[in-house]
Chain A
Amino acid sequence: MSKRIVALLVVLFVLTPAGFALTASAEETVNLRFAYWGSGAEKEGVDTAITEFEKANPNIKVERLHIPDDFVTKLNAMIAANEAPDVCYSGPWKIQLGKDGLIYNYYEIAELDPSVSADDVADYCWWKWSESESAGPYQASVCPSLMYNADLFIEAGVELPPTKAEDAWTWDEFVEVAQKLTFDRSGRNALDPDFDPEDIQQYGIQMSTGWNGWYPFVLSNGGKYLTEDGAAFGLNSPEAAEAIQKVADLINVYHVHPTPAASSTLPGTATALQTRRVAMSIQGSWTHADLALTEDFNWGVGVLPIHKEYKSFFHGGSLIIFKSTKSLESALKLHNWIINPANVIELHKGLWVPQLNSWYTDPEKIALWAKESTPGRPVGFQDAVMKSTFEHAEPSPENCVVNFAEIDALVWPALDNVWNGSMTAQEAMDSIADPINALVAGWIY
């Protein structure tokens, strides 16, 4: 009798681990491949997020392919070799991949993973190749931001830039402030009649000469990249040309902005502000991450100046999911994990801003990334950057203009002539209108 009991116990004992083994193997390991570029803090942030993802999903293993150089060439080689990654970073070339049917339309697969709701994505924060087809929401957003060296303002006795959109400077006010903060080596500011524009020590303003620098002002003046119906080029409209011209005038008329030549001698934005080469800077908000690393530097943010209405926009990159993936659900999980601000929260404290509505409306979430008086978020940030952009956002030109990459490839060389003063904005834009119109294919948004 006792022998039988022992035998029974032995059998049970043996079966139980076997049972465990069976159930364990029922959940097979999924192997995903994720390709990305980026370095420094961004790479760290993404790496950490992926590690956390693997911990939260023990049956998914992510092979990281970090490709800092020649990303597109290598990606294409992988595509050609039928070895495309499951999820990866992408540039505007994703549109062609979408048209070629190599990547998923996010709208079609979004409900497979509810961790990110497509409805929560802020307006316009999508990369689409057609009205109804999207590569996916922004991985994270950035926006144009006005940053300044507060000490320079205080010393010059100039009022600090406003932080609320409704208090924004007019363009003329803005110019005057810039003049007060532009000094030549003799210490004369730009309003001084003896001011020497050939010998400028400190510039009042430096802006990005890319579309993320001047396009907000085109929009503020009532202009648009294309005509309203999207049928033709829009930057040669009077409003748009005027706005662009006024930016150029900062350089050539008021001398408050460095010439292209002088710009090439200036250091990066954060350093330029800190070393008092520049008093104000309008650049991408990713600069906040650089400024967060400075020590003993009194900097601040303010709203952009306006012509007529306050306008701004978000822009950013997105991930793509290849149709060759063997496990769509897991790939989507990974995708949504990485773009969720909660998983890369450190990066949203300076480098990026969220692309989901709830992060602009839920006070708890706001406190996570936009808490003021933290290194990347000076006092006034929530008004000057967060709210002003969120409440006045337009679609970014690279997302809403069909064939944007090709069109922009013609625009920026033409603008060089405007910055160096050899052509007016209107002339320059008119000169490229025809080739561009050949490329124009309407709005995506």
Chain B
Amino acid sequence: MVDRVRRRVPLRFPLRITRRTDRSVKRWAKQWMERWTKRLSIRVKTLVVILLLSLAPQCLLARQFYLRSRETLTETTRQSMYQLLRVNNERTELDLATLHDVSMNILVDRELFTVFSDPMMSDPVNRRETEEAIHKILLKYFGSLPSVQQVEIITPAYSYVMNWTRLAQFGVFFQSDVFQDVWEKNGGIAWLSSKAMEPFHHRKSTFACARLLNLRYVDDSSIGWRLETDQDAVLMVMLNEAYFKDRLEATAAAVPGSVVCMVTPEGETLVYTGGEALDISGYLPEMQSTGTGMLRGVAADGSPMALCYDQSMRTGWLTVSAFSVNALAEDLSRGLYVNMLGIMLVMALTTLLATGLSIRMLTRRIRSVSQGVDAVKAGDYSARIDESRCDEFSALVENVNAMSETLRRLIDENYKARIGEQEARLTTLMMQFNPHFLYNTLNVINWSVLAGRGKEASRLVVTLSRMLRYTSDSTRPVTPLREDMEWLEQYLFLMHSRFEGLFNVEWDVAPECLDCLVPKLFLQPLLENSILHGFGGRSGGGEIRIRARLDGTDLIAVVEDNGKGIPPDKAARILADKRVSIGLYNTHNRIALMYGEGYGLNIDGAPGSGCRVTARIRAEVPAAESAV
């Protein structure tokens, strides 16, 4: 054993946790758990369980609440963003409608018609006049529109402008796709993206709208005439990007971190806020088909994004705004977590309190029950637990009380009776081996022998032997009176021999009593009392009368003497205190135990008038004999 402990176990590097170690750790953990759970009181266990159980749904609730709030916040922001977008888009729509109408109305301008119907119009000689005239007309129509940056009427020969600062070069315009588109529309408005306008711009391109200049003249009689001309002219209105951008910025300002842009249905960006144009090409098909609404999308970095969009009825251009959901939710989270923690703390405390109180109620009840049981355990079989409450424990309490009652009854009846029985046996045994009785009787025998009265001695020895045989048979606690009487006679014979001439015995036994079962040697103490105490100090003239008769269901045996008598208080004390006369006390208790209340000894007698001891027992006849 010692050797084994001493032996070194080499360490292996790297330390690997093998399966076996793993298992032992588990086992150790399990053992530790079991130890602690067994040690902990129910109160603590319940508190812990309830706390854990209530915290779990609270955490769940908190998370749900957070998610819901975030959802609501996102939704609300999206809604208001959408509304703002629509409102601003309506204004843009108005601007576009104005452009549409103004560019349409200029087609019936009489002055313009007059200018263009002059065949010498394109002659460079007239250029200045024509330019001035057209410039004025364009100003008249477009000069006050904030959405317009520049207007030009483009002809193959020359472009006539509204603002003298030219933005674009329309040299090869009439070979371009843009012109083709405008021409096909035959006077209808063409909305051109910045991309389409790129080939013509010097620097930054803007978006525009254009019409083929189909002029008509309406005369005084309301008849309209079409301008017959062989040269095409195009009205080109270049739009003010800054004007539209301002409006988008106003929309973007509503939600910090949001961006707004305007795109063509094909995905070309016209205007945008923020540093870079948003890539929303993935969402275009849906936006196109629904025209207006809100979407959930994903930003370039993968974070969730909310989109709102509205389409212009006129141009098909989409105005789109987007904001990051997470950025929005950040503020929300902080405040929310603090609130949630506070609430959870309060909930935990209240739970603890509630649980503590209810457990206290329980343990108190349990304790009162266990106290009651403790009392019974200590020997107080008449202890009862308070049954005044009517709760779940009442049944238990009633049962425990009933159990105590049963216990008490059993102990009283059987246990005490048995003990009484054993004590009686013991007494019998004691009496049997009473050294004084034996000693005295042997003395008497010895004297007889010494006196030469051999036959007398022999009779004494035989009688003693019979008596001892009778008393040593302890199997039957009750015997028929007849047999007990026989023994008493032998006893008295011995006593006669010892106390010669001291007393006489008179027998008066009713014959019907003889078969009654009586406690063995129950009269012996009475006789001993009379002989030893009643006649103590005398030398003769003692009279003892032994009577037995039936009294109803009872058997009454009386031992009367004419001895000294006994003071009444002593008589009472005898039966109460075993120290005064152990024989009488034992006999009385034995009878009381065997037969119950009302049975036992009764001592009468006054000093100088003798003593009468009455023994009352139940008259019991053996069952077998009654059958006979």
On A, residues with C-beta under 8 Å from B are: 72-83, 91-93, 96-97, 100, 405-406, 409
Residues B222 and A81 in contact, CB atoms below 8 Å apart: no
**Binary A-proximity of B209-223 (CB < 8 A = 1, otherwise 0):** 001001110100111
Known A72-B218, A76-B218, A82-B188; 16 more pairs at CB < 8 Å = A73-B108, A74-B105, A75-B224, A76-B108, A76-B216, A77-B216, A80-B226, A81-B103, A81-B104, A81-B214, A83-B104, A83-B188, A93-B221, A96-B223, A96-B225, A405-B221
Interface size of B as a range: 20 to 34
**Are A79 and B222 neighbours in the complex by a CB distance under 8 Å?**
no
A–B complex contacts, Cβ < 8 Å, 16 sampled = A76-B216, A76-B224, A77-B105, A78-B104, A79-B224, A80-B187, A80-B215, A80-B216, A81-B188, A82-B185, A82-B188, A92-B221, A96-B225, A100-B226, A405-B221, A405-B223
Whole-angstrom distance between the Cβ of A94 and the nearest chain B Cβ: 10
Per the bound structure, the CA–CA distance linking A81 and B189 in Å amounts to 7
Contacts of A72 in B (CB 8 A): 218, 222, 224
Q: Which residues of B pack against A, CB within 8 Å?
A: 103-105, 107-108, 185-189, 211, 214-216, 218, 221-226
Q: Do A77 and B104 have beta carbons less than 8 Å apart?
A: yes
Contact check, B221 vs A409: say whether CB atoms are below 8 A apart.
yes
Complex Cα spacing A346 to B358, Å: 85
How far apart are B96's CB and chain A's nearest CB, in angstroms? Answer: 14
A72, closest chain B residue (CB): B222
Q: B-side binding surface: helix, strand, loop or mixed?
A: mixed
Of B216, B223, B226, the most chain A CB neighbours within 10 A belong to: B223
Find chain A residues with CB under 8 A from B186 CB: 82
- Asked whether A77 lies within 8 Å of B107 as measured between CB atoms, the reply is yes
Docked-complex contact A81 and B211, CB < 8 angstroms: yes
Docked complex Cα distance between A80 and B223 (Å) = 13
Nearest A residue to B227 by beta-carbon distance? A80
> What's the minimum C-beta distance from A173 to chain B, rounded to whole angstroms?
39
Most A C-beta atoms less than 10 A away, residue of B103, B108, B185, B216? B108
* Chain A residues whose CB sits within 8 angstroms of the CB of B211 once the complex forms: 81
A82-B214, A83-B188, A100-B226 known; A77+B221 contact, CB < 8 A? no
- Give CA–CA (A277, B216) in the complex, Å: 47
- For residue B522, give the distance in angstroms from its CB to the closest CB of chain A: 94
With a CB–CB cut-off of 8 A, which chain A residues contact B214?
80-82
Main secondary structure, interface of A, reads helix
In Å, the complex CA distance between A81 and B186 comes to 7
The residue on B at minimum CB distance from A97 is: B224
Question: Is A79 within 8 A of B188, CB to CB?
Answer: no
- Nearest to B212 among chain A residues (CB) is A82
| A81 contacts across to B, CB distance below 8 A | 103-104, 107, 187-189, 211, 214
Alpha-carbon distance A308/B247, docked complex (angstroms)? 75
A405 and B186 alpha carbons, distance in the complex (Å): 31
Query: For the complex, what is the distance from the CA of A109 to the CA of B226, rounded to whole Å?
Result: 26
User: What residues on B are CB-neighbors of A80 within 8 Å?
Assistant: 104, 107-108, 187, 214-216, 226
Distance (Å) between the CB of B223 and the closest chain A CB? Answer: 5
Residues in A neighbouring B103, C-beta threshold 8 A: 81
Q: How far is the CA of A260 from the CA of B296 in the complex (A)?
A: 74
B224 touches A96 (CB 8 A): yes
Q: How far is the CB of A63 from chain B (nearest CB, A)?
A: 12
A120 to B107, CA, bound (A): 40
A93: chain B residues at CB < 8 Å are 221-224
Min Cβ gap A4→B in Å is 35
Contacts of A409 in B (CB 8 A): 221
> Which are the 9 A-B pairs with shortest beta-carbon distances?
A80-B107, A82-B187, A76-B224, A82-B188, A81-B104, A72-B222, A80-B216, A77-B108, A80-B214
Task: Kindly list chain B residues whose C-beta atoms are within 8 Å of the C-beta of A100.
Answer: 226
**Most chain B CB neighbours (cut-off 10 Å) among A72, A82, A93, A97:** A82
Query: Chain A contacts of B221 at CB under 8 A?
Result: 92-93, 405-406, 409
Docked complex Cα distance between A81 and B216 (Å): 10
Complex: how many Å from CA A91 to CA B104?
Answer: 21
Within the assembled complex, what's the spacing in Å between the Cα atoms of A91 and B220?
13
A263 to B107, CA, bound (A): 41
Most buried by B among A76, A81, A92, A97: A81
Cα(A96)–Cα(B222), bound, Å? 10
Closest residue on chain B to residue A76 by CB atoms: B224
Q: Which residues of A contact B218 (CB under 8 A)?
A: 72-73, 76
Interfacial chain B residues near A73, Cβ < 8 Å: 108, 218
Residues of B within 8 A of A405 (CB): 221, 223
CA distance A77 to B211 in the complex (A): 12
Q: How far is the CB of B117 from chain A (nearest CB, A)?
A: 14
B319 → chain A closest CB, angstroms: 24
Nearest-CB distance from B553 to chain A (Å)?
Answer: 87
- Which residues of the partner chain A approach B187 to less than 8 Å between Cβ atoms? 80-83
Task: Give chain A residues whose Cβ lies under 8 Å from the Cβ of B188.
Answer: 81-83
Instruction: Give A93 to B222 CA distance when docked, in angstroms.
Output: 6
Give, as a whole number of angstroms, the nearest-CB distance from B579 to chain A.
99
Look across to chain B and name the residue whose beta carbon is closest to the beta carbon of A84.
Answer: B187
Bound-state Cα–Cα, A93 to B216, Å: 14
Complex Cα–Cα for A72 and B226 (A)? 14
A406 CB contacts on chain B under 8 angstroms: 221
Chain B residues within an 8 Å CB radius of A77: 104-105, 107-108, 216
Q: Give, as a whole number of angstroms, the nearest-CB distance from B101 to chain A.
A: 8
A74 to B218, CA, bound (A): 10
- By beta carbon, the residue of chain A nearest B221 is A405
State the Cβ distance, A127 to closest chain B Cβ, in Å. Answer: 14
